[in-house]
Structure 1
């Protein structure tokens, strides 16, 4: 299988880092999707220039849409825009990539940090999946179609079993707990949506050299995204409700 089998793709948080590279690699794939919707909070802002340049280069493929995943109104408006542009009204791949991290140990983490990170990393993906679900159900109903996929970008830092391995270097209470909750959201969605023929998987992109990953990360964005797309292209129903890394290896809860 090839990621190009997904005819229509929506990626959140696509103006930088992993999201931007996902858009780029999908657009430049030999068998690229026919439609790529790149969602970001402020498409006209300076931090979105690289995305706008990419969209101009691939104007026949990429549509940049305003999408603030913490704002239900913004999500609904984005869904309406995408719905009007979708070929056949079906969406075959949704990548919930938008996320945030506020580092901190117990003493440094308060209610605001916990709520802000949880809202972005858990509530946002849920609301986006909920709003765009009808388009994915249509994709599933198409004769001979590939099973639609929802990818929730998680982290190895969500693993309760592996918490002790890097905790001293990065306590990150808000981030760790929110990504653990995202894993449960993935499991719940996988159970509910299997009747619709929709696969839901959590994916760890690796420790990537991005603003969030920091300078100590060992993977480049290009390497990470290349691996992620290979994993996505090889998913089967057996992978629904699991947490995999960018090489396709399972990560314990």
Structure 2
């Protein structure tokens, strides 16, 4: 009988609801150690309840990925609760609904890019020293960076003028994934762009196709099965390759 895998040191951004909260629940259920972030931890009731249920295994810290000061403070504080990272899930993001051509405001484009592309890229860059290197001689794989993207960021899949600021920012995030995969390859770190499907969250709406639990179960299977050879690729929650 093979030994149980060692607990992973995980970071989930935007973890106070939806997919982020589902990731935290499932990672904790697996026995992993989790740092979960929210812009306003005091209001993250579900996260704080979980922290009480998993003392020492869940730490809730403040982070606004779009804000430089918040990122700097978080990167400084993280080593106090985690001695490295095996899994970074860049989940935090925004979607501005109701945009129409001719009426897309610059503020929404800027906010989308900061939250969905620039912020996650700069956070990953700042956390790079804390990402675990592969140690083949010890049987240890390198860290995985999972960027929660969207099929709406696939240029090849565009079929109309849909959620432009979100789509543009997710396409930019996909490029960030490809670039990070290149620069982190020598350390054996895998970087993935992941489409979670159409999920029943505040962002996806109640009419969406799958629950956050179903999406995260699938996404964790993709993450678990990924190797360095898959780094820089774009997958959906069922493990299907997506076009850029």
TM range (shorter): over 0.9
Q: How far does residue 105 in structure 1 lie from its aligned partner after superposition?
A: 2.3
Q: Which runs of 4+ in 1 moved over 2 A?
A: 3-6, 138-144
For the residue of structure 2 that corresponds to 1:94, the secondary structure is: strand
Q: Does the CA-based 8 Å contact 1:8-1:36 persist in structure 2?
A: yes
Q: How far does residue 79 in structure 1 lie from its aligned partner after superposition?
A: 1.8
For the residue of structure 2 that corresponds to 1:161, the secondary structure is: helix
**Structure possessing the higher relative contact order (Cα contacts under 8 Å, 6 or more residues apart):** 1
Q: C-alpha deviations, 1:214-237, integer Å up to 9, x for none?
A: 122110111001111111110011
Q: How far does residue 106 in structure 1 lie from its aligned partner after superposition?
A: 1.5
Q: How far does residue 73 in structure 1 lie from its aligned partner after superposition?
A: 1.9
- The TM-score, its normalising length taken from structure 2, stands at 0.93
RMSD value over aligned CA atoms? 1.8
Q: Does the CA-based 8 Å contact 1:91-1:139 persist in structure 2?
A: no
Q: Does the CA-based 8 Å contact 1:5-1:146 persist in structure 2?
A: no
Partners of 2:71 and 2:129 lie apart in 1 by 14
1:90 to 84, 93, 116: 84
Aligned residues: 240
Partners of 2:80 and 2:135 lie apart in 1 by 19
Q: Does the CA-based 8 Å contact 2:91-2:147 persist in structure 1?
A: yes
Q: C-alpha deviations, 1:54-98, integer Å up to 9, x for none?
A: 111112210001111112221122122221222xx3211100000
Unpaired runs of 5+ residues, structure 2, are: none
Aligned to 1:100: 94
Aligned to 1:150: 145
| Residue 122 (1) aligns with residue 117 (2) | yes
| Residue 193 (1) aligns with residue 187 (2) | no
Q: Does the CA-based 8 Å contact 1:90-1:139 persist in structure 2?
A: no
Q: 1:155 to 1:191 in 2, by over 3 A?
A: same
Q: How far does residue 154 in structure 1 lie from its aligned partner after superposition?
A: 0.1
After superposition, residues 168-247 of structure 1 pair within 5 angstroms as 171-247=162-238
Q: 1:243 to 1:4 in 2, by over 3 A?
A: farther
Q: How far does residue 128 in structure 1 lie from its aligned partner after superposition?
A: 1.0
Unpaired runs of 5+ residues, structure 1, are: none
| Residue 50 (1) aligns with residue 80 (2) | no
